[in-house]
Amino acid sequence: MTRFIADSCSDMLQMEGVDFVAVPLTISTDVKDYVDNENLDVKGMTEDLAGYKGKSCTACPGVESWLKAFEGADVIYVGTMTSTLSGTYNSALVAKEMYQQSHPEARIHVFDTLSAGPELRLLMEKLTELDKEGKTFEDVVRLGCEYMKRTRLFFALKSLHNLAQNGRVSKVVAAAAGVLGISVFGTASQEGTLEPSAKCRGRKKVVEEFLNEITKTGFRKGKIRISHVDNLSLAEKIRDLVLERFPQAEILVYEARGLCSYYAESGGVLVGVEGN
Ligand code: X90
């Protein structure tokens, strides 16, 4: 049986027509743990955190969570967020080794997206498509790896407080977004780190920056995935303007789940783009 598994940074709880499992990360304060699964009330968590003055942190899934997700499957494709910012990828790799000891026939590949959110989602969608086309395990792995080289992630964040608090970005970069109305615009670097590229004042500049960067990738047609943290209007604005310029774009807009909401913070928008 073939299974597709992603950590909860993909923002997906299910995938239509395939055996899909999401493995949650956890967001914690001193008083509460928020497991980023289908039961999480994301808005409730955001409200709690807005009123919480202490420190908060996140934890990657433990090996046990992955093993549970693998159970019963023998062809397994796992997608994770960037290994440079999280232990998620490594924990999945350890689980793969363990699972294969007790299930020697199982075939498992763990993809390190060196990215987050919508770019991880694009990979998972691609893997399911390749499998549906009848591709072999080796081909799905090879073509999946090639595909990841053609996808990009862009983001605009109004606050990088949680990223800085948890050492995922420098305090200097985070300080840039400390001013009201300023968004830090950036991309996932080739090494899988957060690479700021511009400071945008106001929403119009943010939208322009997304359009410029998408255009610079050489995008003409294909998929674009836009996740947002309580900012549907900005996400839809980006979608509409991209469609005006590239009518053949196939775009989905959706809300971020817990982990991405915690790190991208209120107002944050993430855009995953399929290259040509
Ligand atoms: O505790 C953990 O292991 C999780 C740490 C996750 C840190 C990064 C999460 C990024 C979420 C934020 C904006 C986009 C940044 C993209 C950089 C590759 C999304």
Residue 176 predicted with pLDDT over 90: no
Structure tokens at 73: 């499957």
Angle between the N-to-C axes of helices 232-245 and 203-216, in degrees from 0 to 180, rounded to the nearest 10: 40
- pLDDT score, position 181: 87
State the pTM of this model: 0.98
The arithmetic mean of pLDDT across residues 156-161, rounded, is 96
Rounded to whole angstroms, the Cα distance separating 267 from 231 reads 5
Average pLDDT, the chain: 97
pLDDT tens digits, residue range 194-243? 999 999 999 999 999 999 999 999 999 999 999 999 999 999 999 999 99
Give CA–CA dist 274/243, Å, rounded: 14
Q: How far is CA 181 from CA 51, 53, 160, 187, in A?
A: 21, 22, 13, 20
Query: What is residue 117's DSSP assignment?
Result: H
Domains assigned to the chain: 2-23+61-149 (3.40.50.10440), 151-274 (3.30.1180.10)
Mutate to test the pocket of ligand 1, among 8, 255, 259 (most ligand atoms within 8 A of CB): 259
Pairing, β 151-157 against β 269-274 = antiparallel
Backbone angles phi, psi at 4, to 5 degrees: -110, 130
Q: Which residues line ligand 1 (CB under 6 A)?
A: 25, 58-60, 82, 85-88, 115-117, 153, 155, 168, 188, 192, 194, 260, 263-264, 270
Testing ligand 1's pocket by substitution, the residue of 84, 85, 91, 265 carrying the most ligand atoms inside 8 A of its CB is: 85
Atom of ligand 1 nearest to the CA of 59: 1
- Counts for the chain of helices (H) and strands (E), in that order: 10, 13
Statement: residue 180 has pLDDT above 90: no
Show Cβ contacts of residue 155 under 8 Å, excluding neighbours closer than 6 positions.
Answer: 117, 185, 186, 187, 264, 268, 269, 270, 271
